[in-house]
Amino acid sequence: MASRHLTGILGVRYPIVSGGMAWCSGARLAAAVSAAGGLGLIGGGSMDAELLRHHIRKARGLTGLPVGVNIPMTFRQTPELVEVCLDEQVPVIFTSAGNPRRYTRVFQDAGARVFHVVSTPAQAGKAEQAGVDGVVAEGFEAGGHLAHEELTTMVLVPEVAEKVSCPVLAAGGIATGRQMAAALALGAAGVQIGTRFALTEESAAHPAYKQLCLQAGYDSTRAVFKKNVPMRMLHNAFRDQISEAESRGASAEQMLALLGEGRPRRGMFEGDLDEGVLEIGQVTGMIQDLPPAAEVIRSLVAGYNHARADLSPLDA
């Protein structure tokens, strides 16, 4: 079974990874997920080297189980974040947004496992050629940065599973055990879950942002910045400005100027609900509570087993 192979690689009980989300995934969330049997990731993308080291050590103080780190490959501070992870001997690294060739071997030579986040089958093929231990196939329904191809989890996961022989984690639109069962039926060995863990007690995000996500309906998120790197975000005053500019035919340069600097921090960490960028997945419309991460894991496992048992065979 693919999921057993995966749990062996990750050193965890359940094939469930919490995404390394900027401004949400600090030591508390990552440690809580790992302590409950999944793999918790610290989101390196919103940290400098010193802060990342602090969170890695803090997570170790909270659980003896493995905790991983997500590092975007394209950031100014990427080399320093890589150094910290090597130095701290982080056992599992998830790389995203960039070339997987850059650091995969470096981490593996230091004894770590490396997973790379992809949004197309072609990117999955490149990641496998770079020698990764597995890939995360992230569909268009996910929060935050997306690909222009807009492949949904339903289409992307089987295409990636067909393309590569390494384990595939499905991501995008997965918040319940039913959705986890669907992901595994599609050929994934496990799941990486963002939004559901962003909306937990231990998530580091600002309480006002969490509350706004809880109030969100099915129509609250949209993918915008389609001339730049597309991004899924919650409706707010700033997203209205973006949509208006896009509707007018604003150029990629004008859109970048409108985005400016630091808006995700303002929105998700400082709680500026009007002017900040509020990244969240489409599945936020289904979520109405802020449980502890361990309860999310229990509910995913129970829901998965229930959905699985509910599938009757068809007479061939």
Query: Under the rule (CB under 8 A), what is the footprint of a second copy?
Result: 1, 3-4, 13-14, 120-122, 139-141, 149-156, 158-159, 162, 172-174, 176, 178-179, 181-187, 218-219, 222-223, 227, 247-250, 282-283, 285-286, 298, 301-302, 304-305, 307-316
| Closer residue to a second copy (CB): 71 or 135 | 135
Which string of DSSP letters, residue by residue, matches 168-199? EEEESS--SHHHHHHHHHTT-SEEEE-HHHHT
| Closer residue to a second copy (CB): 71 or 188 | 188
| Closer residue to a second copy (CB): 165 or 247 | 247
Tell the smallest beta-carbon distance from residue 298 to a second copy (Å): 8
3-state secondary structure of 200: coil
Tell the smallest beta-carbon distance from residue 240 to a second copy (Å): 15
Would you state the torsion angle of the CA atoms of residues 32, 33, 35, 40, taken in this order, to the nearest 10 degrees? -110
Place of tokens 């493995």: 66
Tell the smallest beta-carbon distance from residue 186 to a second copy (Å): 5
| Burial class of residue 80 (count of CB atoms within 10 Å of its CB; 0-12, 13-18, 19+) | middle
Which string of DSSP letters, residue by residue, matches 70-122? EEETTSTTHHHHHHHHHHTT-SEEEEESS-TTTTHHHHHHTT-EEEEEESSHH
| Closer residue to a second copy (CB): 234 or 307 | 307
Tell the smallest beta-carbon distance from residue 236 to a second copy (Å): 17
Tell the smallest beta-carbon distance from residue 314 to a second copy (Å): 5
Residue 84 vs residues 62, 107, 130, 207, 231: alpha-carbon distances, Å: 19, 11, 22, 29, 28
> What is the C-alpha radius of gyration for the chain, rounded to an integer number of angstroms?
18
Tell the smallest beta-carbon distance from residue 173 to a second copy (Å): 4
| Closer residue to a second copy (CB): 67 or 156 | 156
| Closer residue to a second copy (CB): 104 or 221 | 221
Place of tokens 């997920």: 33
DSSP one-letter code for 294: H
- Residue 262 backbone zone (phi > 0: left; psi -120 to 50: alpha; other: beta): left
| Closer residue to a second copy (CB): 269 or 304 | 304
Would you state the torsion angle of the CA atoms of residues 253, 257, 259, 265, taken in this order, to the nearest 10 degrees? 130
Tell the smallest beta-carbon distance from residue 23 to a second copy (Å): 23
